[in-house]
Structure 1
Amino acid sequence: MHAVIVAPLGGTSVILRPGSPKAIKVGGARFAEIQTAAAGDGTVPDWLADAAATQWGIALHDRPAAGNVLVRAPGPYRFSRATWEINLGCDYDCEMCYLGKKRFEGLDREGKRRLLRIIRDAGVIWLQITGGEPLIDPGFSDAYEHAHELGMVIELLSNGSRLHNERVFGLLTERPPSKLTLSVYGASAETYDAVTRRRGAFNRFTEGLHKALDAGLNIDLSLILLRRNAHEQEVMRAWANELGLPYREYANISPTIHGTDETLPSQSPEHLTQRTPFRGCPAGHTPIRSGVPPFARWAASRTSTWSRKESKGWPDSAVSPIPSCFAPEDAPAARCPARAGCAGRWPRSSRRRRHHWRTIANTEAGDVMTAVMVEISPTRTAVKEDAEAVVLIEDVDTLTDESLPGCGDDNPYN
Structure 2
Amino acid sequence: MHRVIATPFQGEFLLLHPGKSQGLKIPEEKFEQLRALGSSELCPEWLTGVAQRTWGLDIRDQKVGDVTLVRSPSSFNYGQASYELNLGCNYDCKHCYLGMKEFEGLPWTDRVDVLHALRDAGVVWLQLTGGEPMIDQLFTSTYSYAFSLGMMIEVLTNGSRLHNPIMLDLLAKRPPQKLTLSVYGATEETYDGLTQRRGSYKAFSQGLAAVHEAGLPLELSIIVTSDNAHEVDAMHALAEKYGLPSTDFANISPTIYGGSDVLRSQYPQHLTKRSVFTGCDAGNTFFHVDPHGNASTCKVARDPKISLVKEGVEGLRRLGGIADGLLLRQGGCTGCQLSGTCGTCMPLASLFRKAKAPLANYCQHTEKRKEVDQ
TM class by smaller structure: 0.7 to 0.9
Distance 1:319 1:131 in 2: 25
Q: Which residue of 1 aligns with 2:46?
A: 47
Q: Which residue of 2 aligns with 1:198?
A: 197
Q: Which residue of 1 aligns with 2:28?
A: 28
Q: Which residue of 2 aligns with 1:322?
A: 320
CA shift digits 1:320-344 (9 cap, x unpaired): 52269xxxxxxxxxx97988xxxxx
Q: Which amino acid aligns with 2:55?
A: W
Q: Which residue of 1 aligns with 2:138?
A: 139
Give unpaired runs (5+ residues) of structure 1: 302-307, 325-334, 340-403, 407-414
1:233 to 1:24, Cα distance in 2 relative to 1, 3 A: same
SS where residue 64 of structure 2 aligns? coil
Distance 2:3 2:52 in 1: 12
1:299 to 1:215, Cα distance in 2 relative to 1, 3 A: closer
Distance 2:87 2:289 in 1: 15
**1:24–1:51 CA contact under 8 A, matched in 2:** no
Structure 1 stretches of 4+ with a deviation exceeding 3 A read 279-297, 317-320, 335-339
* Superposition TM-score, scaled by structure 1 size: 0.71
SS where residue 298 of structure 1 aligns? coil
Which runs of structure 2 are paired with 1:143-158 in the superposition (5 Å)?
143-158=142-157
Q: Which amino acid aligns with 2:225?
A: L
Q: What is the number of equivalent residue pairs in this alignment?
A: 322
CA shift digits 1:55-79 (9 cap, x unpaired): 2222222222123211001111111
Distance 2:157 2:303 in 1: 29
CA shift digits 1:356-407 (9 cap, x unpaired): xxxxxxxxxxxxxxxxxxxxxxxxxxxxxxxxxxxxxxxxxxxxxxxx9x9x
1:199 to 1:65, Cα distance in 2 relative to 1, 3 A: same
**2:159–2:181 CA contact under 8 A, matched in 1:** yes
**1:289–1:319 CA contact under 8 A, matched in 2:** no
Query: Structure 1 residues 51-60 or 244-253, which shifts more?
Result: 51-60
* Superposition TM-score, scaled by structure 2 size: 0.79
**1:289–1:320 CA contact under 8 A, matched in 2:** no
Q: CA deviation at 1:190?
A: 0.8
Is the counterpart of residue 221 in structure 1 residue 220 in structure 2?
Answer: yes
Q: Which amino acid aligns with 1:144?
A: Y
Q: CA deviation at 1:278?
A: 2.4
Distance 1:283 1:210 in 2: 35
Distance 2:317 2:303 in 1: 10
**1:283–1:323 CA contact under 8 A, matched in 2:** no
Distance 2:121 2:152 in 1: 14
1:163 to 1:80, Cα distance in 2 relative to 1, 3 A: same
Q: Which residue of 2 aligns with 1:231?
A: 230
Q: Which amino acid aligns with 1:243?
A: Y
SS where residue 263 of structure 1 aligns? helix
Q: Which residue of 2 aligns with 1:410?
A: none
Q: CA deviation at 1:231?
A: 0.3
Q: CA deviation at 1:318?
A: 6.9
**1:220–1:246 CA contact under 8 A, matched in 2:** yes
Distance 1:286 1:58 in 2: 31
Is the counterpart of residue 119 in structure 1 residue 138 in structure 2?
Answer: no
Q: Which amino acid aligns with 2:204?
A: F
Is the counterpart of residue 8 in structure 1 residue 14 in structure 2?
Answer: no
1:277 to 1:32, Cα distance in 2 relative to 1, 3 A: same
Distance 1:138 1:283 in 2: 29
Distance 2:75 2:285 in 1: 17
Distance 1:102 1:44 in 2: 48
**2:255–2:262 CA contact under 8 A, matched in 1:** yes
Q: Which amino acid aligns with 1:298?
A: P
Q: Which amino acid aligns with 1:130?
A: T
> By percentage of residues, which structure has more helix?
2
1:338 to 1:274, Cα distance in 2 relative to 1, 3 A: closer
Q: CA deviation at 1:319?
A: 7.5
Larger RCO, structures 1/2 (Cα 8 Å, 6+ apart): 1
Distance 1:73 1:145 in 2: 19
1:281 to 1:163, Cα distance in 2 relative to 1, 3 A: closer
SS where residue 89 of structure 1 aligns? coil
Task: State the Cα RMSD in Å.
Answer: 3.0
Q: Could you tell me the percent identity over the aligned residues? A: 43
Q: Which residue of 1 aligns with 2:342?
A: none
Query: Structure 1 residues 104-113 or 274-283, which shifts more?
Result: 274-283
Is the counterpart of residue 172 in structure 1 residue 171 in structure 2?
Answer: yes
Distance 1:336 1:122 in 2: 21
Q: Which residue of 1 aligns with 2:304?
A: 298
Q: CA deviation at 1:111?
A: 1.4
Distance 1:200 1:16 in 2: 38
Distance 1:162 1:283 in 2: 31
Q: CA deviation at 1:10?
A: 2.6
Distance 2:244 2:303 in 1: 42
Distance 1:206 1:178 in 2: 21
SS where residue 25 of structure 2 aligns? strand
SS where residue 78 of structure 1 aligns? coil
